[in-house]
Amino acid sequence: MGIIITGATGLIGRELIHELAIHGHEDIRVLSRNPEKAQASFNIPIKCFYWDPQKGEVDKDAFNSVDTIIHLAGENIGARRWSKKQKEEIVNSRVLSTRLLVNTINENKTSIKKFISASAIGIYGNRSGDQVLDEQAGFGSDFLAKTCIAWEKETERLTNKDILVNHVRTGIVLASNGGALEKMLIPFKLGVAGKLGSGKQMMSWIHLADMVAIYRFLVENDFEESAFNAVAPKAYSNSNFTRVMGKVLKRPTILPAPGFALKIALGEMSTLVLDGQNVYPKNLLDKGYSFKFENLEDALQNLVGLEKEFKQVQWVERPLDEVFGFFSDEKNLETITPDSLSFKVLGKSTPQIEAGTIIDYQLSLYGLPFKWKTEISSYDQNNEFTDTQLKGPYKKWVHTHGFKVYANGTLMTDNVSYMVPMGQLGSMVAGAFVKKDINKIFNYRSQKLYKIFGETNNHAE
């Protein structure tokens, strides 16, 4: 049975689709105002359908043979100052979209068995740090609390009471690209960071990897609990959060931002940084969810530390053994690498690629010649292999290539961990350029693979 996802091109949605695909969920549908654009933005065979919650319009064909809805759509609450119009958009984008889904289910014979909807911990309102809030805590009365209450209340209109409804009350999502963390980093990089307001307000946070894993956990398990707090088990005061961030980034945190100044600059939206809640994920822990990142310092090291990660997922309509065979021939790396790198394979230590094989390359970066030596540190035929830099331009480079049968083709995953040389200085000076170049190289590679295997990245049906 299929899964419908709204808000699929957002921070959580895009990663969630990859997470579901990697774990074998093949029938993924997306609702979008622009289905063609959404279709072209994914490298896996999803199906995109039209909807427009403001107009109350949706393609009902999307609901055929679907048993789960994951509803993520909603205007970014931190995108712009909260004018009257913007506050209406924040509310309507959540309430009207949920209402449209519920009405469609109620008015049509669907096979929906589970409705998983985003919500937010803002539902609890602003609370002092000594109050630990689980899912049974009372609700607040401010703008965000009222928005979340109205958002969740829409699902009560489902006439089929056998449909399981889970509301995912999300905290501050930390991600390496986009989201709240991207904005938090700016003052740290400028050396003007410090606590916000009193610094006593609690920050209940969650790593993006846990966020998408929680949604998959709820998809793959049936729970009758209506609410799940999607936050790490330990919240931090803003002062402590700032201190840990400064430690990871090795940047000073001695310039506080007075609360009155933030209120003048941001208006009512200042509540996003001056208010807080100490939220605890009781229901998730009780149901056996195991967090990947419970400790804030570990999470921040993973996201903004010196060691960086790059991930890519791509599907081609070719047999697994053919695709794996292509990648296990090192000479094909020359074919899928941009000409500007002048990439050449010089030789390898064994006749065929296997665990322990040493491969020598040469390439050019920014016009400078480099020799690159890697070892195939692990090799599992038709499953995955890992190449690890022994000598080359990076302080660290570990690249795991994954392959699996998916939707009558092959799903390929690239997971790269890398570090630029010269520590913090190297990261500050060259980190952004290296990140941009890696994205460019893998994008070229993706397009080249579609040409080689006779595919395009448009999988509309």
Give the tokens for residue 191. Answer: 């050396």
Choose the weakest-confidence range: 243-247, 387-391, 432-436.
Answer: 432-436
Work out the pLDDT band at 455, boundaries 50, 70, 90.
low
pLDDT above 50 for 126: yes
Percent helix, strand, coil in the chain (nearest 5)?
40, 25, 35
> CB burial class (10 A; 0-12, 13-18, 19+) of residue 58?
buried
pLDDT above 80 for 456: no
Who wins on pLDDT, 261 or 133? Answer: 133
CA 420 – CA 269 distance, rounded (Å):
37
pLDDT tens sequence across 182-230: 989 999 988 899 999 999 999 999 999 999 999 999 999 999 999 999 9
Among 72, 53, 89, residue whose Cα is nearest residue 12: 72
User: pTM of the prediction?
Assistant: 0.94
Residue ranges matching CATH 3.40.50.720 in the chain? 2-304
| The predicted structure's pLDDT at residue 459 | 45
| The predicted structure's pLDDT at residue 1 | 83
pLDDT above 90 for 129: no
Work out the pLDDT band at 431, boundaries 50, 70, 90.
confident
CA 150 – CA 119 distance, rounded (Å):
10
Residue ranges matching CATH 3.30.530.20 in the chain? 308-452
pLDDT above 70 for 386: yes
pLDDT tens sequence across 370-383: 999 999 999 999 99
Choose the weakest-confidence range: 131-140, 204-213, 258-267, 441-450.
Answer: 258-267
Give the amino acid at 310: F
pLDDT tens sequence across 164-181: 999 999 999 999 988 899
pLDDT tens sequence across 92-123: 999 999 999 999 999 998 999 999 999 999 99
Give the amino acid at 241: F
Average pLDDT value over all residues in the chain? 95
Check: CB of residue 395 under 8 Å from CB of residue 388.
no
pLDDT above 90 for 461: no
Please state the rounded mean pLDDT for residues 20-48.
96
> CB burial class (10 A; 0-12, 13-18, 19+) of residue 397?
middle
pLDDT above 50 for 460: no
| The predicted structure's pLDDT at residue 429 | 81
Q: Of all residues in the chain, what percent carry a pLDDT higher than 70?
A: 98
Q: Which CATH number fits domain 308-452: 3.10.180.10, 3.40.190.10, 3.30.530.20, 3.90.1150.10?
A: 3.30.530.20
| The predicted structure's pLDDT at residue 161 | 95
Please state the rounded mean pLDDT for residues 360-367.
91
Choose the weakest-confidence range: 43-52, 64-73, 246-255, 261-270.
Answer: 261-270
CA 216 – CA 70 distance, rounded (Å):
10
Domain covering 2-304: architecture: 3-Layer(aba) Sandwich (3.40)
User: DSSP character for 62?
Assistant: G
